[in-house]
Chains A and B, each alone.
Chain A
Amino acid sequence: MAEALGHVLIVDDNKVNRLLLARNVELLGHRAEAAENGKVAMERLRAETFDLVLLDIEMPEMDGFEVLAAIKAAPELRDMPVIVTSSLEGLDNIVRCIELGAEDYLPKPVNQVLLGARLSSSLEKKRLRDEQKRLLDRFATHEVALDLQNSGFAIGGKRLTASVLFCDIRDFTALSEDLPPEATIELLNTYYTLMFDAVSSNGGIVNLMIGDGLMALFGAPQPLENPAQSAVAAAGEMFSMITVLNQEQRAAGAPEIRLGAGIATGEVVAGYAGTDERAAYTCVGKTVNLAARLEAHTKAAGRRILIDRQTRNSLRDPAAAERIQQVAFKGFSEPQDIFAL
């Protein structure tokens, strides 16, 4: 795999140093730009997008220590990796750079091999951080993403009460057999865009996508006033959106899609599961199983949305849910009360 190229800002008041560092950075395959002091550097960092800063310390106007402090104080620049390249005298100055948040220190004249290794490692770390942020944004509302970013990515679980919603497209496999692959993916993308909208506009997060199905969580990681009500509202929006989509599909002579959704409310164990390198916010427990069983049962029951007793009891208008025949689901010792919306 080709290494991702970085856009590097070189900050140095000395022309020879600027030219030499830019040459080294470019020979390593990255893009280099230069600023001649800290003040100019901060202006450029605020106005443009860079992946990494190579920072000299001894500079007029605004020195490297001040630049480090300013970068760490700006929320949008805080994660910018900074490698200090200087010929500073005194270990205490180098320690100060690291304490101010510099990723590394390279003495001048900079060794090309060492520079290459440091650049790759810092850019890779930044790439992973950016990727993590993007993934988080994709799977959670912006508020939840920020909240998680601030609370950190510690692996660990919490027991809490939440509502779990499963939904999928009925007979999607059969439907997709008649479609060219591109049309199948396009239809799935449209479907997912609509479903994500319905989930996030009601305060939930989508935390699993499998084929044509998804699992959404309400009440975790951020508490909601009434997770069950939010989940039911999201399901309602899903069906309204699909109705509109089907009108368009019909007009275009394209196949329509049918949804099924199941919602259960109760205790779940939620948190980050995985390894330090790769983790996902996930949720397990009996409530999750029940929601999945309810969704699977929609076809047999001939209903669009099925909910469990606790979801129904939490609704502002429980009478709107119609009780249907109990079912003894696999994995549950007792037959479950089921309600249709």
Chain B
Amino acid sequence: MSASPLDPAVFAELQAATGADFAAELAATFLEEAPGMIAQLKQAAAAGDGDGFRRAAHSLKSNANTFGATALAALARQMELSGLGGPAPDLAALDREYTRADAALRGLLDG
């Protein structure tokens, strides 16, 4: 997990395609929404709700890919695929990756 939390090329592409202002607003929306998605994912894991867990992981993966948060996306994808059937998901790792992605994205927005 030492790779860069954010692929700047992906975010630059998003800016080019949708406009810098819109990309910034979208990133801000993601930063507002993502903690809720992670909370849902944890709740679902605690309640043994496999569908809810898979859906939350799927949403997080999809959004992380949009901003080039590849490490976060990879972790979310892994959770979506394995679901709650196997060994307990590494929720702490998810928190760590999200914190890194959050900081990197805020850095881009402020820069």
Contacts and interface: CB of A to CB of B under 8 A. Distances in A.
A89 B55 CA distance: 12
A58 interface: yes
Given A15-B29, A15-B33, A58-B55, A23 B62 contact: no
A15 B30 CA distance: 8
B81 interface: yes
Contacts of B80: 89
Contact of A24 (B18, B25, B58): B18
B70 to A, nearest CB: 12
B26 A14 contact: no
B65 A87 contact: yes
A20 B59 CA distance: 14
B62 A17 contact: yes
Greatest chain B CB density within 10 A among A13, A14, A19 is at A14
A16 B58 contact: no
Given A27-B18, A89-B81, A108-B66, A16 B55 contact: no
Contacts of B81: 89
A318 interface: no
Interface residue range, chain A: 10 to 19
Nearest to B32: A15
A109 interface: yes
A24 B17 contact: yes
B62 A108 contact: yes
B65 A108 contact: yes
A89 B77 contact: yes
Interface in B48-92: 54-55, 58-59, 61-63, 65-66, 77, 80-81
A14 B63 CA distance: 9
Contact of B66 (A20, A60, A86, A89): A20
B59 A13 contact: yes
A71 to B, nearest CB: 22
B62 A87 contact: yes
Interface of A: 13-17, 19-20, 23-24, 27, 58-60, 86-87, 89, 108-109, 112
Query: 8 closest Cβ contacts across the A-B interface?
Result: A109-B66, A112-B17, A87-B62, A16-B63, A58-B58, A14-B59, A16-B30, A23-B18
